[in-house]
């Protein structure tokens, strides 16, 4: 035997799959639980082995294990009471007597015979015949016995080696087991793209590690994994169940501890840095269990290293290579079943009063308790609504025009400037999208009592369309849309006080409107918008450079050759959009409707942006508002996503030049955080509009 590396089943903490389940009738939180146990190194045996040099007289060797001395047999008797065989979890009387044999995967009759039924060593009894024939038979039998014993020794040695290297046979069931590929490499010391102080590159590397956090599992897989399915969480489309491969949970814990270590850095980026003692202790304890479970006993030797000063130095080093899982194979498996964080829905839990509801869920990876939390329904709340058409004299239109609008809430009950809550005008993106895209903002009325005003910009949605103005840059310009906003404010009587929200192109428009200091404007929200198109494009090119080469080539080819309607280009641009426009799969209904509107009438977007290309060629290609930003004199809130196609470098001018400003980056969002992290989004936005606790303190 090569040493007391014994395997036994232990409680959860070494499992291969976590699955969320409903656990409390008084809470809407989903926690991750594990069902089966992993075949782990037995820690007390390892400690016994390590202490042998210090306690030599109390550590029996293999040759003394059959002795009846109380001193030498006592340690094994104590350990034997809790030893469990993998092949036979329920111990029998015989298994207790032969625990040194039960360590092996197979216990042969020959081994039992050598030890005897009571554990005593027994000399095999036979009576060889006399004479030459008897001698030959005896000799032949001896040779066969030696061959048999050698064969048994080889088999048992291989079996022990297999157990010590944790082969697939040692793993608990997981659908990911088929993806496991092993390789040998050094895991000691050094630096990688994951190490060092936080930066855009380091943070992106960690985020890529966690892309496979949420995957889709089947009922059969959960049954094989031993999951208790009484209150298990099911996907709303009934195609499976959200599960988390345990290794991704451990990486999440490491990432959380990393962010706690650099908490000021992440707080300055606008991250929610709330951390609970419960979460902190949970991560530490989980990682401790895993390290001890997979105990790596490779030896580190101490070496003298060349001193950098007058003192000698000792460092621990090793040339040992460990047997490791190939991470790319695991990541590939996870991405095939990938559920975008916050981008899928689950059926309401058994403790929810509204049993019919379909709820989206999101896993929060930063400074939140490990688990999943429920967010609100993706439906317009039942409340007072008013809609209609506002006449609009669009300069140069050549015909009567109108702007369609809809108000959620009591508009006329919230017009006092002394009130913290004012009507909110929402400006959708595009150009050419529609108000449906921003539909979730109706939550602000339900939760904060804020009247929310939706409208379709001229040339889109239910407002007047002007296809005959295609390509007319003198007509399709910012002034047209600013006049439209002013027209809405006057028609609805909002000069006593209102706030404005703009998303993407709508954010560019709302920012320009705020630089004019219109009467009645109190607060500005800039969501997913750049301070200049040039900076937006620089950031987008950085994101593109991280795409696979074939995807980059397809995008560049389509734009260069004008074949953006080709399948090759559309497939490539879809990959980009799923990373940096909307990370929810399948595509949310709100976004699908917006794309349909643009496809139906692309007049404004073709003229102002330049058609279905990422590179702008229209009238907005040189758009830049940086020099005008100091003119904004209202409280401003910047919201965008970590994976947003509008990267930080295009947002920084807002933060640096607007006098009273706050900036928050949503960690799990790209370009449509109101869809990707709806609950958190509304908390932040509603808090700003209703008045932050520290609303009188703004960074400049």
- Give catalytic residue positions: 504, 644, 671
Phi, psi torsion values for 225, nearest 5 degrees: -80, -5
Phi, psi torsion values for 174, nearest 5 degrees: -155, 140
Task: Report residue 56 as tokens.
Answer: 């030599």
DSSP H or E segment with residue 636 = strand 635-641
Neighbour tally for 241: CB within 10 Å: 22
Gap between the Cα atoms of 281 and 591, Å rounded: 40
The beta strand positions in 306-423, using DSSP E, are 313-317, 322-325, 344-347, 358-363, 372-374, 385-392, 401-408
> In the chain, how many H helices and how many E strands?
23, 21
Gap between the Cα atoms of 189 and 436, Å rounded: 52
DSSP H or E segment with residue 33 = strand 29-33
Residue 500 and residue 514 in contact, taking contact as beta carbons nearer than 8 Å: yes
Classify 221 as helix, strand or coil.
helix
Residue 678 and residue 360 in contact, taking contact as beta carbons nearer than 8 Å: yes
Please enumerate, as own/partner, the contacts of 313-322 that have beta carbons within 8 Å and a separation of 24 or more: 317/188, 317/189, 318/186, 318/188, 319/186, 320/186, 320/188, 321/184, 321/185, 321/186, 322/184, 322/185, 322/186, 322/187, 322/296, 322/298
The C-alpha R_g of the chain, in whole angstroms, comes to 34
- CA-CA-CA-CA torsion sign (682, 540, 502, 455): negative
Residue (of 430, 395, 401) closest to 602 by Cα position: 430
**CB-facing half-sphere around the CA of 8: CA atoms within 13 A:** 20
């Amino acid at each position: 035997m090569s040493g007391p590396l014994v395997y036994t089943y232990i409680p959860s903490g070494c499992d291969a799959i976590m699955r969320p389940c409903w656990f409390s009738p008084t809470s809407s939180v989903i926690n991750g639980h594990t069902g089966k146990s992993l075949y782990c190194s037995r820690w007390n045996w390892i400690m016994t082995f390590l202490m042998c040099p210090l306690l030599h007289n109390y550590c029996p060797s293999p040759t003394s294990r059959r002795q009846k001395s109380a001193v030498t047999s006592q340690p094994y008797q104590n350990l034997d009471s809790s030893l469990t065989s993998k092949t036979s979890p329920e111990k029998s009387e015989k298994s207790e007597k032969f625990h040194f044999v039960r360590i092996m995967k197979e216990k042969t009759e020959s081994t039992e015979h050598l030890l005897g039924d009571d554990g005593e060593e027994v000399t095999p009894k036979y009576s060889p015949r006399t004479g030459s024939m008897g001698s030959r038979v005896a000799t032949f039998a001896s040779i066969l016995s030696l061959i048999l014993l050698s064969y048994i020794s080889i088999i048992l040695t291989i079996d022990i080696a297999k157990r010590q290297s944790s082969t697939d046979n040692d793993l608990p069931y997981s659908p990911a087991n088929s993806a496991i590929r092993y390789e040998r490499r050094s895991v000691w010391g050094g630096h990688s793209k994951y190490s060092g102080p936080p930066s855009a590159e380091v943070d992106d590397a960690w985020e890529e590690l966690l892309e496979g956090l949420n995957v889709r599992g089947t009922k059969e897989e959960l049954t094989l994994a031993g999951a208790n399915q009484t209150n298990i969480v099911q996907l709303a489309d009934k195609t499976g169940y959200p599960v988390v491969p345990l290794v991704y949970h451990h990486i999440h814990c490491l990432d959380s501890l990393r962010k706690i270590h650099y908490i000021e850095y992440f707080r300055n980026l606008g991250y929610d840095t709330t951390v609970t003692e419960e979460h902190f202790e949970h991560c530490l304890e989980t990682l401790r269990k895993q390290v001890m479970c997979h105990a790596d006993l490779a030896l580190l030797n101490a070496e003298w290293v060349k001193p950098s000063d007058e003192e000698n130095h000792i460092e621990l080093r090793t040339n040992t290579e460990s047997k490791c899982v190939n991470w790319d194979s695991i990541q590939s498996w996870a991405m095939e079943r990938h559920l975008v964080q916050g981008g899928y829905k689950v059926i309401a839990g058994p403790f929810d009063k509204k049993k019919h509801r379909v709820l989206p869920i999101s896993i929060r990876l930063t400074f939140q308790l490990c688990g999943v939390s429920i967010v609100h329904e993706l439906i317009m709340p039942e409340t007072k609504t008013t809609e209609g058409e506002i006449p609009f004299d669009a300069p140069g239109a050549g015909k009567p025009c109108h702007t369609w609008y809809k108000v959620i809430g009591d508009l006329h009950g919230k017009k006092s400037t002394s009130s913290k809550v004012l009507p909110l005008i929402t400006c959708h993106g595009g150009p050419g999208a529609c108000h449906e895209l921003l539909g979730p903002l109706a939550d602000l009325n339900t939760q904060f009592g804020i009247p929310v005003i939706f409208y379709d910009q001229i040339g889109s949605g239910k407002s007047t369309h002007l296809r005959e103005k295609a390509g007319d840059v003198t007509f399709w310009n910012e002034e047209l849309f600013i006049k439209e906003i002013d027209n809405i404010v006057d028609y609805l009587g909002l000069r006593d006080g209102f706030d404005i929200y703009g998303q993407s192109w709508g954010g560019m428009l709302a920012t320009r409107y705020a630089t004019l200091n219109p009467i009645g404007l109190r607060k500005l929200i800039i969501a997913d918008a750049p301070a200049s198109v040039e900076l937006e494009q620089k950031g987008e090119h950085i994101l593109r450079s991280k795409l696979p080469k074939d995807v980059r080539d397809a995008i560049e080819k389509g734009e260069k050759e004008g074949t953006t309607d080709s399948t090759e280009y559309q497939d490539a641009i879809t990959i980009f959009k799923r990373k940096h426009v909307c990370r929810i799969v399948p595509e949310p209904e709100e976004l699908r409707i917006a794309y349909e509107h643009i496809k139906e009438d692309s007049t404004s977007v073709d003229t102002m942006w330049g058609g279905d290309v990422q590179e702008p060629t229209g009238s907005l290609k040189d758009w830049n508002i940086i020099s005008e930003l100091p003119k904004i004199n209202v409280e401003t809130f910047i919201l965008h996503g970590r994976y947003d196609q509008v990267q930080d470098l295009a947002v920084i001018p807002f933060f640096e030049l607007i006098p009273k400003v706050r900036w928050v980056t949503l960690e799990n969002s790209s370009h449509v955080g109101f869809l990707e992290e709806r609950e958190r989004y509304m908390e932040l936005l509603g808090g700003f509009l209703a008045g932050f606790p520290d609303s009188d303190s703004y960074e400049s």
